[in-house]
Structure 1
Amino acid sequence: MSVLRGLEGQALLAQLRGWALAEGFSQIGVADVDLGSAEAGLQSWLLNGFHGSMDYMARHGLKRARPAELVPGTVRVITARLDYLPRAAPAEWQAAEWQRLSRPAEAVVSIYARGRDYHKVMRNRLQRVADRLAEAVGPFGHRVFTDSAPVLEVELAAKSGIGWRGKHTLALHREGGSMFFLGEIYVDLPLPLTEPVPPHCGSCSACIDVCPTQAIVAPYRLDARRCISYLTIEHDGPIPLELRAAMGNRIYGCDDCQLACPWNKYAQRAPLPDFDARAPLDGATLAELWRWDEAEFLRRTEGSAIRRIGHARWRRNLAVAMGNALRAGVSAEQGEGLREALQSERDAADVLLREHLDWALSQGD
């Protein structure tokens, strides 16, 4: 392959894996750019409105399934897996997370968001891998992505052998579960392809059965409008009344489908300290987080993915969780503290927050 300066493709792929491992990635794959088989499913998902208010999903349309249109000249996509389960996670981490959800006064943040913003971590490390590749083969066309553009990440991961698409729509790996981030490098180099792996979900429907809001409407089909991750992160309007109770004490994201997945007993601990849980986001009570004004919210979430939702949406989520805590029957002392906290903010709240505050206060009646 003259374009690779005489290096054998497989030897270069081995080097690529070594560079990626040095940057903390657990796995590297290479996919071609033919995602035609995914186009019908993407179109159907959009036509059904399952993307909710994520207008950018519809705006980019089929470009997601056409990497060479997104980045002209692309012939391969390097895919990367970065495990994020915190290094200190206990052996029975799934059971520990279910216990968190059973304590209504505790605020639960999705595991991936308890540490540093993965966008920043992955982008920098992927770029360093690309730089190493350029040192080996000379300048080449490429672009790095980390959940930052119209990319069908799971489809590319499946094509390249990073894992298979689970029924919850996330990528799954037999030796890593689903607790990992995906990143991509679009390249104009004809690298050798890596083989996909067969799916291993079988007849299991644990993720579908456990979803609190029944957002997984069919195997491999998610209605984002019902998903707690979408509602607490992407959605900036009122939380639908019929879904509030099911949110429980989840204030940013939801891990239930991953907690229920049998393959996640093999989830790997993060190789990097970046994903260690930050104390305020790991076991704080709803009342403690409610006391953060905007300045403290910004200070506490510096370098965190949580900052992107802003203080107003953060408080909306907390209000719903506090109402759920009141309804769940917390101690008299906790209940009184929650009611006082909610009531004290009502008069100064904007219309959106006030409606959620009133709903929350009504749950303790």
Structure 2
Amino acid sequence: MGPHPAVAAIRLAVRRALHDVLNDALSGADSSRTAPPPSDVSPRPLVLVACSGGADSMALASALAFEAPKLGIRAGGVTIDHGLQTGSEVRAAEVAVRLRALDLDPVENVAVRVGREGGPEAAARDARYAALDEAAERLGAAAVLLGHTRDDQAETVLLGLARGSGIRSLSGMAAVSGTRGRYRRPFLHLDRQTARKACLVQSLPVWDDPHNADPAYLRSRLRHEGLPALEKSLGKGVIEALARTAQLSRDDADALDAWAADAERTVRAESPAAAAEAAEGAGAPPALDTAKLYALPPAVRRRVLRRAAIAAGSPPGSLFARHIEEVDRLITGWRGQGAINLPGRVEAQRRCGSLVIRRRDEAAAEH
């Protein structure tokens, strides 16, 4: 008799993710190898699981522990102590013990300090990913597995919709993300109940984070009030439909981003005045031809403007749709407006038929 269907489902999802990690590792090694590897260096990649002790990440850890040895992959784990609750250090130590009991090695328990920027949820997320990045770099991990499920994806799509941030927000979480594809999310097509059932039938202890039921947090309210209300009004299948919307939106956003990257090279200003603008300052961003920008579809043009702002030093996480809309009006609603201030001390200004986006200190140095 085979494993319980829930256990089979999580193991299959992890097996597919590990095959992808192996393929990526092999293709990367083949493209960069100039000499045979030293005999004392293990060719076995290390894959870590980020584990909070909740049902999703414990199910993921158990599946990684089962599948990795069969593929010649080393499996380890990392648990993060955010320090936001009394006794959090005890909980983190217990999770580390559970991971070692699954024969994961290495296992790390990392305490982080959570700031305040962006609100408590965003600050905790930033601290968590910074710690995971550091651990992955230090341990030489080929990938870090995250336990986000289809339910998490649906919540992320709705949060993006509420922000009105455009199609990229509606695309939710990617199955593969981070530097060199570090983060992998094998469970995006599985529901939360499957992960919990897999823990139950394997007798895995599970810790339920009280923050997940705290109505003070937006995601918690959405999980316990918003989504149930949608399912009551629209019927079952809302979560699956939102997750499907995320994938379709991601495909569209990727295509538009590729189009914008190509368009960016074609809108460089070529007039003498614009060429002078482009030549100002070492490494200064090039001027963009406003007539060529105007001719682009709005979705592509706004992406070009966003890329230019980020290249000039505007932080992506602080650059919102309203900022880009203001810059876009320099192209589509030109009435002699002055410079537009953007996050990161960046400004956008229309001059001599061209758009220049650069840091304000560079603009001040000109005068």
- The higher-RCO structure (CA 8 Å, 6+ apart) is 1
TM-score, length-scaled by structure 2: 0.24
- Taking structure 1 as the reference length, the TM-score comes to 0.24
Q: Highest CA radius of gyration, 1 or 2?
A: 2
